[in-house]
Structure 1
Amino acid sequence: MRAARPVPSSSGASWGRLAVLPPLACLVLVAAPATAGAAAVGTSVPGTSDVGTSAVVRSADGAVAVAALDPLWPSQALPWQAARVPDAWPLVPAAARAVVAVLDTGVDTGHPDLSGAVVGQYDATTGGSDVTDHDGHGTFVAGVIAARAGNGIGIAGVATGVSLLAVKVSDAQGMETPAAVAAGIRWAADHGADVINASLGSTTFDPAVAAAVAYAIGRGVVVVAAAGNLGQSVPAFYPASSPGVVAVAATTVDGVARAGFSSYGNWITLGAPGDQLWSTTPTAGSTRYPAGYATDHGASFATAVVSGTAGMMRAVAPSLPPAVVASTLQSTASPRPGQHLGAGLVDAAAAVAAVAPGAGPTPPAVLAVASARIGAGVGAAAFSPNADGRRDTLPVAVTVPAEALGKRGRLAAGWQLQWSVRTAKGAAITGARAVRPKGRHVVIRWDGVGISGGVVPNGRYLVRVVLRHRVDGVSHRAVTVVPVVVDTRAPRARAVQGAGATVYPRRGTGALLGVTTNEAATMRVDVRAGGRLVRRLSATGATPGRLSVHFDGNGRGGRALPAGRYTWQVRLVDAAGNLTTTRLFVVRVSAAAAPNGQQQKEAA
C-alpha cells in the first residue's frame, strides 16, 4: 500500500488513510458476467435454497459450496475460515438487511462483484455524488465487506448480502482532511448507515472528527475503525481510540497472531485477518491496483472484516445498540493471549449467533486448509494422482481447537473428526474416514482414489472435514470444505520464442527464450553446453499465455559464457504437478558486436 500524503488536521498534525505498506503481488482477473455455474435461479447447491435470483445459504455446507462457485474462493478461504465467516452466513435470514458505509477513496459502483450493493453515494470533499475511485483502496475495502458470493466471479465478501453507502473523503489529489472525514461520518449517520467503516486515521486527535463519531454513535450507528499500520504500540490512534468505537488490529492470514505491521495498544477492541486478503479493485484500473481483483494487506482490511461482521449482526438484530455490538464482538472473540489483540480474534459465527433471535449454540471451530499450492489457472488446490512422483496426493492441514483435545493430544470424549470427498453437487466420492490426531495439527491426504478403488476422473471435488461434539445429548458440528481439482493433463507448449537466437553480451543484447502455454504454469529453462548445465532460468505465469525468460549470455555465476553454440530446453509444470518437457533448441553466444551496430530486437 502506498503512503498517503500527510494532510494537516485542525490541530496541525497529519491525517489520512492507512497506507504505509508495500503492495503484495497482484493477479489481474478480468471480471466477467455470471456464468451458468453461478448460484442463481435453477441452481442446485447442497445446503441452499433458491429465492429470487440469489442462492440462500441454509447450512455451513451450503455456505462454502456457494462461495466455492467464485473462482478466487480457494485463495481467499483461509482468513474467512479463521474468522468463521462461512459459519455465520446460515445464521442471517435471506430477507435480513443492513447498510454499511465505506468512508474511503470512493467505490467502483459498477464492479460486477459489487452489483446492486451500493445504495447511496456522497463525495464529502465537494458535496456532490461522484465517488469514482481513482486510488482503489475504497473499492478493495468495499469488496472485503460486501462482494457478492456464489455469482461465479471473483470473491465472496464477509457480509455478502449487505448494502453499501459509498462515502468519498479523498479529494482529486488523493488527500483526506478531517473536515471531509467528519462530514462523511455525519452524512452516513443521516442516510441510513447501520455500520460505518473508517479505514483511516491519525495519531493526533481532531475535535471535528471526534464530534462526528459521537454524533453517529448517538444515532445508533456502529463505528468501526482501523488501528493503523505503524507496527508498534501507540498511545492512541483516532478515530479508532475514540470512545465507543470498535478499534481493529490486523492479524496474520490464519488469525493466529498479530500481524507485524499492525499498530496496537490498550485501546484495541479485537483483531481480524488483515494479511494476504483478496478483494475487488476498480475495473477501469487505479493508481494502486490492477483492474478487477488483487491481494493486499493492512489494518484497513482487517477493519472491513469486522465491519462486515457487525453488518451481519445488525441484519439479524436491527435495533441492537452500538455498545452491545461492541461488547458482543469482544465476548465472543477467540482469545489470543500475548498478541495485543484486545479480546482476541473476531469470531463472526459466534458474534452473529449471540444476537440472532432464537439462534442455538454455535458449533465448535475447525480450520482446514489445503497446504498444496493454489493454482490460479484452475482456481483451486490441484494435484495429479498419476503415480509420477509429483503431487500424487493432496495434503489438507487441519487445526483442531484446543477444547476438543484431551490427554496426549488425542480427541476428548464426545468429539469426532472425519473427512470425506464429494463432487461439487454433493455426490459421495469416498466414504467418511476418521482422523485420530495426536495434537492440534494433523495432515490428511487424499490419493485421488474413489469408492470404486480407482482414480477419479479429472474435475472439481470438495474435501469435507467435519468436527462433531456431543454434549448433554445434543450433537453440534463444524464443517469446512476445501475445493480441489484432480488434473492429470500435462500443460502444452507451443509458439516457441527464441529458437536459433544469437545474443551479444558485449552490447548488452540478450534474447527472450520461452513458449506459449495453455494454462497457468511454472517454466524452467536449462541452457547447456555439450550437456553441461551452464544457466538455469525460470518464470511463473498466473494465467495461460506466453512465458519467457531473458538470457543475456552469462553463466550461473554471472560471468560471460564463451562464444559458441548452446542448447536450451523448457520444462513446464502446472499447479497440479504435471510436467511437459520440450525438445532441445539452439541459442548462440557471440563475442562480436551486434551486426551493423544494431542490437538484436527482443520480442515482447
Structure 2
Amino acid sequence: MAPRAHRRRVLAGLVITGAILVAGVTPAGAGDTSQPSTPRGGFVTLAATAVGARTDEGAIRVALTDHDPDGRPHVSSLETDPVTAARLLADPALDAELDGTARLLFEPTDPLFPNQWEHHVTGLPTAWDTTLGDPGVVIAVLDSGVAPHAEFGDRLLAGASFIGTDPTVDPLGHGTAVASVAAGGADNQLGGTGVCPRCSILPVQVADATGSVPWSAAANGLVWATDHGADIVNLSFGSTSPSTVLADAIAYARSRGVVVVAAAGNNGTDTPVYPAAFDGVLSAAGHASGYGRYSWSSYGDWVDVAAPGCATALQFGAFVNVCGTSFASPWTAGLAGLIASADTSRRDVEITNRLLAATVPTDYVAHGRLDATVALSGGIADVALTMSALPHRPVTVRGTYRGDVARVDLLVDGILAASDPAPTDGHWAVTWDATSAGVGPHVLTAAAVDPTGRTIPGEPARVTVFEPDAPAFGDVRPHAFYTEAVGWMVTEGITTGTSPTTFSPDAPVTRGQLATFLWRYAGRPTPATSATFTDTHPDAFYATGVDWMVAEGITTGTSPTTFSPDAPVTRGQLATFLWRLANAGVR
C-alpha cells in the first residue's frame, strides 16, 4: 500500500491531453551571468482510469480510510461541497482522496491484436469500453464477396450477388479482407480484431473475378443493401469518372438513413475519385502509424477523413497485412458501426457528423484523421500549458476541444474552478482566480462535457502559482512593469539574477545571456551539435545555449566564425530569435 502522505494527494479520475494557453504574463529581459540554483518547472502526467469524483448534482465524493488494529482498511465515501472537500483533502491528519470511479476495460485476446497499430494509435481500445458493436447494426460490404469463416461466426448474413455468382465466394480475397477490417471478431483467438467486432456483415457481390465493378452492379447492390437492413455501406472501389447511376443509388441510400463510406483511392494525387467524391459519401484517405499520409493515398479537400491505411485482415483463410484506402474505408465504416451501436436511434447525418467532429486536423484531408476515443466519448478537451508558472492573480486559461462538447470545465486540484458554458469553433476559455488556490503547486485539468452531461476528463498539467513580488532583488521595484515577469523567470529557472540580491533590470542583455535565457526556457535540452565559433569558450556559462541555438537553426552567428557573446542584443536580432524559436516549435 502506498504511504498515506502520497495516497492522500492522488487525484482519481483526472485524465487530460493537450494544451492550455495562459494569458496575462508579459516577461521582460534582463542580464544574467550565472547558472540557476533550481531547475525550471516541468510537466507531471498522472495516468488514471478512474473518473467521476464529481456527482451529477455537483457534489464531490471523498474517500476516507481508517485502519483497525490489524491493519485492515475501512473506507467510507462522503459526498460534500467543493470547499469542504478541499479542506478534507488538505488535512494531514486524514487519509483522504477523491473517490473516483473506474470502468471495465476491454482488450482483445486475439493473438495479433498487440501488433494492430491501426487500433492503438487511434484510441480504439478506449472506444471499445463504450461498446464492441451490436449484431443489430449491419455493415454491408459491396465488394468481391465475403467468404464464411469462424472470424465472422453467425454475424455473416445472407447476401446477394449482382454479377451472377455467389456472394460467399471471394475469388480475390478483397471483400473478405475488407469485411474483417470493419467487423472481424474479438476474443475468438483467431488473428486480429475488427473495428466493430460485434456488428453484422451483409455481403453484396458487385466485383467480378478480375476486380472490375460495373456501375450497374454497384448501384443495384447498394439499393438492395439499403432495402435489406444495411445501416452502413462500404465501397472500397473507385474510378476517376463519375457515374450518375451510382450517384442516384447513393442518394436513395442516404434518404433511408444509410451511411455510405468509400475509399479515396490509391493514386497519390488530389484528383477526385468516385464514388468517394460524391456529395453525401464519407470518403477516407490512408494515414500511417505516425499519422502522416501514405504517399500512395489520394488526398485533397474533397476527401473527408483519414484512417489507418494498413491493417491486419483475413484473406484466403490466413491473417495478413494489407494496405490501401480499400482498408481505410472499412476501418471508418467499422467506427461508424460502433457509433450506431452506442445509440441505435442514430442514422446517416448524425453518425456522419459525429465522425467528422471526432477528427484531429491534418493538411491532406478536409476534416482530419479519426480519433475513435472522441467518436465514442462525445468529446475531449485538449490542453497544453505554455508556462508552468502562473502569477497569483486572475488569469485566462484557454484550450481547444474536439467532438460533441457542450461545456468545458476547468478543474484545479480536482475541484471545479471555472466553466466555459458555450465553447465554439473548437476553442474554450475561462478566467481562473489563482489567488483562490494559493501560492505553490497545483494540477489543472480540462474536462469536456457532452450534451447528455457525460464528462470526459483529459490529461492533467501541473503548474506553480507564484507571488508577482516574490524575487528578493533589491533593485526590482514592487510594482514595476517588469516585476511580475521577473518573478516568472525566477520560478521557471530562467534566471537567478546578476547576483543573489540584484537583477539589474535596466542593464542591456548580451547575446550570450539571451542564448542562456532561451535555452533554459526551452527546458535545457541537450544540443544535437556543437558550435564552432572562435569567440565562444566551451566552459562559458552561455556555451550550451549557443550550441543549442545553432543546432535548432535559431542563429548562425554574427559571421561564419563568430557569435559575439558579449555584444548587446538589438531589437531586430531579438525579433528574429523569437520568430525562429516559435517556428522550431519550442514549448
Tell me: higher relative CO, structure 1 or 2? Use CA pairs within 8 A at least 6 residues apart.
2
Structure whose residues are more often helix by fraction: 2
Structure whose residues are more often strand by fraction: 1
TM-score normalised to structure 2 length:
0.49
